[in-house]
Each structure stands twice: as C-alpha cells, then as structure tokens.
Amino acid sequence: MSTLPPPGEGGAPQTGLPAPEPTIDTRNTRLDDGINRCPRCGATDIQLRPSVGMLVCLFCRHEWAEARLDETIANGDLSTLTGTTIASGAANIAAGVDSVITLKCGGCGAEVVVNTAEQMGARCHWCRHVLTINEQIPNGAVPDAVLPFQITHDAAMTTIREFAGKRRLFADRAFVRDFTPQNVVGVYMPYMVVDANASADVAGFGEVQTRRYTRGTGDNKKTVYDADVFEVQRHVDFTADDLTLEASSARAQMNSAINTNNVINTILPFDTENAVRWNASYLTGFTSEKRDQDVAHTTPELEHQLLSIARAQVESSISGYDRGVRWERERLQVHGTRWVAMYLPVWLYSYYHEKNGTSMVHYIAVNGRTGEVMGSVPVSTPRLVAAALTVGTVIEGIVIAILGAMG
C-alpha cells in the first residue's frame, strides 16, 4: 500500500495558514493627504479614461498612470517563496472599523465625510477640491492595487446588447421590453491575487487493460475487461502565479436560487499583472464592492485550486494507464504564499425578474479588460415551446446552451 497517510490523519490539505502581519508595504504615501492633484496643473478633478488606461485631468487634459504594482514590489523566483507574505492592502479587516471616513480637506481644512461602502471620494462643499480615500484604512475598502477598466461604457453596452439579442427569441417578453443598456454599471470587484510555491503527493490505483471479450449469449451478452491494477504515486513541486480568489462573501457563497451572480467567475481571467498601485481616482464614476474576506477565509479555496493544478500537472505522466487512475489520497504542502488585494473591473447589467411569485436577479457581466461576456437571461417556457415547433430538432442544443449560461 501507499506510504501516504490516509485522509484526515495528516494527509488532508493543510488549512488555516497563520495570518502574520503584512510584510509588503504598498501604501501610496504620495496621496496620503487625501488630495490627488494633477501633476501638471494641480487640479483635483481626475478620472480614468478607459480607452487609454490612463488617469486624465478634466481641467487641463493631462494624462498619466500609476506604476504597475509588479514593478514596485519584489517579485522574485516563486520557487524560493516561503512563509506567508501579505501586502498591506490585504491585511486582516479590523473589527469595528466603520465604512464612514472623515477626511480633512487639504485645500481649506473643512471636514468631509465619505461612505466607503458606496464611494471612494467626495467633493469638498466649501472649496470644490475632490478628496479621495488613498490611505489604507483597515476596513477592506482600499486594496493594494487596481486593474483599471479598459473596455469603455459604450463598448460594454454594445457587447451586452449583442449578448441579449442573440438570445432574445427565447427571452422573456418583459426582459426584452425592459432591456435598458443605460443601466450598465462599472463595478470594481474585490479579489485576493495569490502567488504560491507548493508540493503535492497523490496516490491511488491505475488500470491497464489486458483483454476485452464478450461473455454470455443473446440478451445476457456482456463485454468484460481484464486489467492489471497498479499502485500509482506521484510527487510534484510547482509554483502558481496570480491565482485569483473571490474576496467578497456575497460572491463566494452564491445562492443561485435567488440570483445568478456567479456569472462573474465565467468571465475570468483578468490580466492581473497589469494592475497598478492604488489611487482612488481610478474609481471615479464607478462603484466598488468592499472586500470582507481575509487571508484565512480564502485559504481553503487557494488549496483547492493548488490541488487542481497538481492533478493537472501529473496528468501527462499517467497516460499509460489506459483505463484511468483513481486518486485516493492527496496531500498538499504549501511552502510559501504571497497575497495581494486587488480590485478587478466588471461591467454589470442586472435585471430583476419575477415569475409565478418567485423573484430572481439575473446578470450579464462583461470583463472590463477583455470584453468577455457571460450572463443569464430568463427563459420563458411558452416561447421556447413555440420556437421548438418552428426550429425542430436544433432546439435541444439551444436550450442546453441557455441553461448552461444560467449556471
């Protein structure tokens, strides 16, 4: 038998990595006075211009960008990564830290209140300066980095219109009537982006077919296989770069009976290597969802993804077992991890659908970088039947495609 301990006796994946103090400081101290000034004219009316990925000063039109996070933090050889390294924006959320933050205006000294659950900046009502939350408050609202929108609002509306249009024949009449692309909103979603250095051992049984023949006659005829069974063990050392883990409990525990917001997972991946240092001006005109999950909360999902990678890595070495390998024991050893909190850009169109007393929220989501789109469109059964009579046999495939999209 295998030398690996059975599951539950040290063979199970390690859980609950300790969450030490942050060791990478990503604070953008240049902006700590709450005022993000245009480097050319000093104005504070600044926002993202998605088509070029730059911040633009609305006063003098000067354009600039924050540095990529990858360029500002040490990003060495992942195979030497040990321990748990946490960037300051991914630190544990402190209990009792309010969403409501009071900023002292650097222009006139007035105190301006910002509710970080809804926005990351406000205009001083006395001197008209725009104040933004750039200091890393430990309430989950300020990550280490932000991946700016690159797909414009117009492009997102076109994509969503096309997505819904292709399915319009099967969509509910109310959905078709109420479809308003103007309700497409840009949302920054919170994620933990993790690098890891790990090893895994897997053990089980592989089968190689030696003979195949038929037994019995007539209705009792059966095909029988003879196979040699082998004990199989594999060890793999590997690194993973930028694994993307949901850091909002509302997204991680999706109740698909009342909403279908897990569509976000279907528009991954994002080019997280292009994320830039935090600057709240990237959020002007967009909404954001606060992170409420810490390193410890997202560690089980990280281990799950690492084990999947390990299984995929040993796949090529077991092709000789033509009847497959059944893994019975798996052990993951995480040698080192590096955690960065990040906002990722998503265009969202939501639609509230009520039918037979049940209400559902449907979403169409567009990856704010790649334009990848996925969503759920409510399906009206009578219209599907009508279509089936017209289209004939093709309909089965289409129905499956739509149900798949509802995931």
Does residue number 125 form part of the binding site for Zn ion (CB under 5 A)? Answer: no
Q: Which is nearer to Zn ion, 86 or 124 (CB)?
A: 124
Q: Which is nearer to Zn ion, 119 or 159 (CB)?
A: 119
Does residue number 83 form part of the binding site for Zn ion (CB under 5 A)? Answer: no
Distance CA(266)–CA(354), nearest Å, equals: 24
Q: How many beta carbons lie within 10 A of that of residue 295, not counting itself?
A: 24
Q: Which stretch binds Zn ion (CB under 5 A): 3-11, 55-63, 156-164, 253-261?
A: 55-63
Does residue number 235 form part of the binding site for Zn ion (CB under 5 A)? Answer: no
Q: Which is nearer to Zn ion, 40 or 235 (CB)?
A: 40
Q: Which stretch binds Zn ion (CB under 5 A): 102-110, 140-148, 161-169, 206-214?
A: 102-110
Q: Which stretch binds Zn ion (CB under 5 A): 128-136, 283-291, 320-328, 338-346?
A: 128-136
Written as six digits, the tokens of 198 are 């790990």
Output b/e per residue, 57-93; b: 16+ Cβ within 10 A: beeeebeeebeebbebbeeeebeebeebbbbbbbbeb
* Shortest distance (Å) from residue 36 CB to Zn ion: 11
Does residue number 41 form part of the binding site for Zn ion (CB under 5 A)? Answer: yes
Does residue number 43 form part of the binding site for Zn ion (CB under 5 A)? Answer: yes
* Count of alpha carbons within 13 angstroms of residue 114, beta-carbon side: 23
Task: Using the Cα atoms of residue 292, residue 295, residue 300 and residue 301 in order, give the sign of their dihedral.
Answer: positive
* Shortest distance (Å) from residue 62 CB to Zn ion: 4
Amino acid at residue number 397: G
Does residue number 108 form part of the binding site for Zn ion (CB under 5 A)? Answer: yes
Task: Using the Cα atoms of residue 207, residue 210, residue 216 and residue 217 in order, give the sign of their dihedral.
Answer: positive
Q: Which is nearer to Zn ion, 126 or 352 (CB)?
A: 126
* Shortest distance (Å) from residue 37 CB to Zn ion: 8
Distance CA(361)–CA(125), nearest Å, equals: 37
Q: Which stretch binds Zn ion (CB under 5 A): 34-42, 78-86, 308-316, 341-349?
A: 34-42
Does residue number 126 form part of the binding site for Zn ion (CB under 5 A)? Answer: yes
Q: Which is nearer to Zn ion, 31 or 187 (CB)?
A: 31
Cα 78 to its chain centre, rounded Å, is 22
Q: Which is nearer to Zn ion, 63 or 328 (CB)?
A: 63
Does residue number 91 form part of the binding site for Zn ion (CB under 5 A)? Answer: no
Written as six digits, the tokens of 28 are 């953008």
- Which helix (DSSP H) or strand (DSSP E) does residue 64 occupy? strand 63-64
Q: Which is nearer to Zn ion, 40 or 166 (CB)?
A: 40
Does residue number 127 form part of the binding site for Zn ion (CB under 5 A)? Answer: yes
Q: Which stretch binds Zn ion (CB under 5 A): 30-38, 79-87, 89-97, 322-330?
A: 30-38
Distances (CA, A) of 215 to 221, 228, 236, 315: 6, 19, 42, 33
- The DSSP output letter for 92 is P
Q: Which is nearer to Zn ion, 60 or 224 (CB)?
A: 60
Does residue number 57 form part of the binding site for Zn ion (CB under 5 A)? Answer: yes
* Shortest distance (Å) from residue 160 CB to Zn ion: 33
**Burial of 17 per CB tally in 10 Å (0-12, 13-18, 19+):** middle
Does residue number 60 form part of the binding site for Zn ion (CB under 5 A)? Answer: yes
Binding-site member from 11, 53, 83, 107 for Zn ion (CB under 5 A): 107
Does residue number 35 form part of the binding site for Zn ion (CB under 5 A)? Answer: no
Q: What is the SS3 assignment for 115-133?
A: ECCCCCEEECCCCCCEEEC
Amino acid at residue number 337: T
Distance CA(278)–CA(20), nearest Å, equals: 22
Does residue number 110 form part of the binding site for Zn ion (CB under 5 A)? Answer: yes
Chain positions contacting Zn ion, by CB under 5 A: 38, 40-41, 43, 57, 59-60, 62, 105, 107-108, 110, 124, 126-127, 129
